Structure formats: structure tokens, C-alpha cells
Amino acid sequence: MRILSGIQPSGVPHLGNYFGAMRQHIELQDRGEAIYFLADYHSMTSIRDAGERRRFTRELALDYLAIGLDPERAILYRQSDLPEVCELSWLLSTVTSMGLLERAHSYKDKIAQGLPVHHGLFAYPVLMAADILIYNADLVPVGQDQKQHLEMTRDIAGSFNHTYGTAVFKLPDPHILEDVAVVPGVDGRKMSKSYDNTIRMFASDAELKKVVMGIVTDSTAVDAPKDVSTALFQLWALFATPTEREDLFGRAKAGGLGYGDVKKDLLKRLLAYFAPHRERRAQWAARPDDIEDVLAAGVRRARALAQPVLAAARDAAGLGPER
Ligand code: ADP
Ligand code: TRP
């Protein structure tokens, strides 16, 4: 089974990214041939600063290695190191209807907000389809928000196959990470970098302490029963076993448990959980050349898988000399 996912290098990852997507990527590397790439081409639709893009891309590689991506098993590479994907994107764009792209939520949202849009944003789903189809990936693990993009990928693949009367592309199965609850941010809304309410697991101890202690709670007295559906308890539960959760939630509902104690315990658990990741991150960070080696080896392996598919697509479309 071939598993593929792309991650945009768009900022420092937070607990929402980790529990919502990154952790599952690591788990899946044991279940098949996993290919993960740092989607720097895609990040061009939002980030306009070259230095920032490089920094975010390098940091994201570090983050994945830190959380346990094993470069001996999974392939990790930088999207722009495989420009073949842009060629495939062109081939696919000629079989993608305007109507399909006009229905894309991400594009429609930008228009609705009155934000300036450019062709890159409009064509984003086509590049994403190329990312996936160039490997004939079986499984694409992504969050709910990417579901529509995967449906579009299936449409685009079908359209190419139909147009040229071939079966060059396999229609990928989305693996929507639905069982993953939305991680709340420190203010109770969905954790998201755009709300500035995140807990970034690789921040310093002091910063983490400040953020955790600042999780918004109400003024319920210590003795009073607490609502365990609130952010603090839900965040705490990410680091607890089901039995621990039942126990603490029971005590919270009964009253007598103060928010401060829960925050302290959450901080302790969070630091303990990510201690090995943070150590591994520091080790990799001290060896930037090794990271480049990982990415170089990654793209070599990726290219070997991508090239035959691209060649077949070119051939089906009548590009180049007859084979
Ligand atoms: P942000 O909302 O901070 O901009 P992204 O959109 O870059 O995050 O998220 C990358 C992936 O991380 C998403 O596709 C989604 O699967 C996951 N993710 C982000 N925030 C959360 C959250 N609060 N809860 C669960 N998963 C999340
Ligand atoms: N659009 C995805 C996101 O924002 C990133 C991405 C780009 C991707 N290409 C992909 C995900 C291919 C899966 C497969 O999260």
C-alpha cells in the first residue's frame, strides 16, 4: 500500500496539527510505503517571503524527524525538489473544468472574504492532484478540511483517463482522519495559528508554562462541579489514558478539583510526552547537513516512483516521440 501526504510549511506546528494529522502520519509509516513531502510549492499561494519559506520548510522537516519519522522507512522530501509535479499539473489542468475549480471551498472562501485571489490559488487543487497521482498513491491521510481536494483529485484522474482512453491514473482513496477530535485552543475555539490560540509543543519550557497556565477557564469555585467539555479538560485528556480520564473527569464533575491543579498536571504531562521528541529535534537541529541528506535521498526515491507514471501520462497524451 502506498501512502502519501503533503504538509504545508506555514508556521510552527501546534497540538492541533500533531494530534489532528502528524501523529497519524508517523503511525502509518509502519503500514505501507509512506511518502511525505514538504509542500513548499503550495505555500507560495500564501507566503511571499523567500527566507520565511526556507526557514519554515527546514523547520517542518525537523518537526517530522523529531516526532519519529524514520527516513529509512518513510520517504521525506521537499516538493520543489521534484519539479516533474508541475509538468503533470499542466497535463491535468487541461482536463479540469473551470466549474470544478470554482466550487473549491478554499477558493470560494477567499472570494467571499473579498481577499485578492491569483491563479495559483485557483489552480491549487490541480497541483495537489498531481502530487497524489504522480505516485498512484492508494491512501491519502488528511484532515476533514482536505476532503474536497481529494474528491477533486478523483474527478481529475477520471477525466484524464477518460479523455485519453487509458487507465494511467489510479483513483486514490481518501483516508479522512475523522476519528480525530478537533483540538481546542487556549481560548476554547478550534486551535489554529490564525486564531493565535495555539500550544506549540516545541516552544521553550517557560513559554509552554505561560501558555498552559493561561488557558481560559471560568470563575467556578474550587468546590463547584466543573464542565469537562471545556478546553482545559479536553487538552488534558490528550495526554491521559481512558482510566485516568474517567477518574479525573469524575472528580471534576463532583467538585473539589481546582483548575490550577489540572493546568499544572497538564503541563507536566505535556513536557513528559514530548520530551523524547524535543531531544530528537535538538539532535537533528545540530546536524543541518544530515537533514539535507535525508531530503536528497527522499527525493531520489520519490523520483524513481514518479517518473514511470509521468512517462505513461505523457505517452497517453501523445507528448514526445512514440514509445
Ligand atoms: P492551522 O489551522 O493552524 O492553520 P493547518 O490548516 O495548517 O493549521 O493544519 C494542518 C493540518 O492539521 C490540518 O489539515 C488538520 O488536519 C490539522 N489540524 C489543524 N488544527 C487542528 C485542530 N485544532 N484539531 C485537529 N486537527 C487540526
Ligand atoms: N493542501 C494540503 C494542506 O493544506 C497540503 C497538500 C498539498 C497535500 N498536496 C497534498 C495533502 C497532497 C495531501 C496530498 O494541508
- 10 C-alpha vs ligand 2 centroid, how far in Å? 12
Q: Is the CB of 47 under 6 A from ligand 1?
A: no
- 53 C-alpha vs ligand 2 centroid, how far in Å? 16
Give the model's pLDDT for residue 232.
98
Question: Ligand 1 pocket check: which of 7, 12, 15, 17 to mutate, most ligand atoms within 8 Å of Cβ?
Answer: 17
The pLDDT tens digits of the residues spanning 58-90 come to 999 999 999 999 999 999 999 999 999 999 999
Give the model's pLDDT for residue 174.
75
* Lookup: cell for 129: 492532484
- 287 C-alpha vs ligand 2 centroid, how far in Å? 27
How many residues does this entry show for the chain?
Answer: 323
**Averaged confidence pLDDT in the chain:** 95
* Lookup: cell for 202: 516545541
Residue closest by Cα to atom 14 of ligand 1: 143
Mean pLDDT value of segment 83-106: 97
How far apart CA 276 and CA 63 sit, in angstroms, is 12
pLDDT above 70 for 178: no
Could you give the residue numbers annotated as active site? 110, 190, 193
Coil/strand/helix, residue 141: strand
How much is the pTM? 0.93
pLDDT above 70 for 179: no
Output the CA angle 92-38-309, nearest 5 degrees: 35
The pLDDT tens digits of the residues spanning 217-239 come to 999 999 999 999 999 999 999 99
Domains of the chain by start residue, with CATH: 2-182+287-317 (3.40.50.620), 202-283 (1.10.240.10)
Q: Is the CB of 145 under 6 A from ligand 1?
A: yes
